[in-house]
Amino acid sequence: MTQLRVHAPAETSNHLAELRKLADLGVAADHNEPFGDQTWVELRAGRAWLITTGSPDLTGGAAIVIPEDAEQPVVVELLVTPDERGNGLGRQLVDATTQVLAQHAAEQQAITAWSHGDHPAARRLAIKAGLEPVRVLYRMALEIDRESFGDVTIPQGYSIRTFVPGDDDAAWLALNATAFADHPEQGQLTQDDLEARKAESWFDPEGFFIVEDAQGTPAGFHWTKTPVGSASGEVYAVGVHPDTQGSGLGKALTLHGMNHLAGSGLEKIVLYVDDENRPAVNLYTSLGFGVENTDVMFSSNS
Query: What DSSP string describes 47-106?
Result: -EEEEEESSTT-SEEEEEE--SSTTSPEEEEEEE-GGGTTSSHHHHHHHHHHHHHHHHS-
Instruction: Provide the mean pLDDT of the chain.
Output: 91
4-130 and 141-294 in the same fold: yes
> The dihedral of CA 97, 99, 101, 103: what is its sign?
negative
Annotated binding residue 281: yes
Average pLDDT for 186-202: 92
Nearest Cα to 203, choosing from 171, 162, 174, 245? 162
Question: Among 15-19, 58-62, 124-128, 137-141, which stretch is predicted with the lowest mean pLDDT?
Answer: 58-62
In this prediction, residue 66 carries a pLDDT of: 81
In this prediction, residue 203 carries a pLDDT of: 96
From CA 225, how far away is CA 43, in angstroms rounded? Answer: 21
Domain spans of the chain?
4-130, 141-294
Annotated binding residue 280: yes
* CA angle in degrees (0–180, nearest 5) for 91-95-96: 115
Annotated binding residue 272: yes
Average pLDDT for 47-63: 75
In this prediction, residue 14 carries a pLDDT of: 86
> The dihedral of CA 289, 255, 253, 221: what is its sign?
positive
In this prediction, residue 285 carries a pLDDT of: 96
Average pLDDT for 210-221: 96
Annotated binding residue 79: yes
Is the pLDDT confidence value at 57 over 60? no
Annotated binding residue 204: no
Annotated binding residue 288: no
Percent of the residues in the chain that have a pLDDT greater than 90, as a whole number? 62
Annotated binding residue 138: no
CATH number 3.30.1490.20 given to 141-294: no
> The dihedral of CA 113, 116, 121, 123: what is its sign?
positive
pLDDT interval class at 156 (50, 70, 90): very high
> How many angstroms from the chain centroid is the CA of residue 90?
23
In this prediction, residue 56 carries a pLDDT of: 61
- Read off the pTM: 0.85
How does strand 232-240 pair with strand 268-274? Answer: parallel
Annotated binding residue 282: yes
Whether the Cβ atoms of residue 111 and residue 74 lie closer than 8 Å to each other: yes
In this prediction, residue 9 carries a pLDDT of: 92
In this prediction, residue 58 carries a pLDDT of: 58
Is the pLDDT confidence value at 284 over 90? yes
What is the CATH code of the structural domain delimited by 4-130? 3.40.630.30
From CA 278, how far away is CA 190, in angstroms rounded? Answer: 27
In this prediction, residue 53 carries a pLDDT of: 82
In this prediction, residue 18 carries a pLDDT of: 87
Annotated binding residue 194: no
In this prediction, residue 234 carries a pLDDT of: 97
Annotated binding residue 284: no
pLDDT 10s digits, 173-184: 999 999 999 887
From CA 262, how far away is CA 232, in angstroms rounded? Answer: 10
Annotated binding residue 176: no
Identify the top-confidence range among 30-34, 146-150, 163-167. Answer: 163-167
Annotated binding residue 277: yes
Average pLDDT for 9-33: 88
Annotated binding residue 251: yes
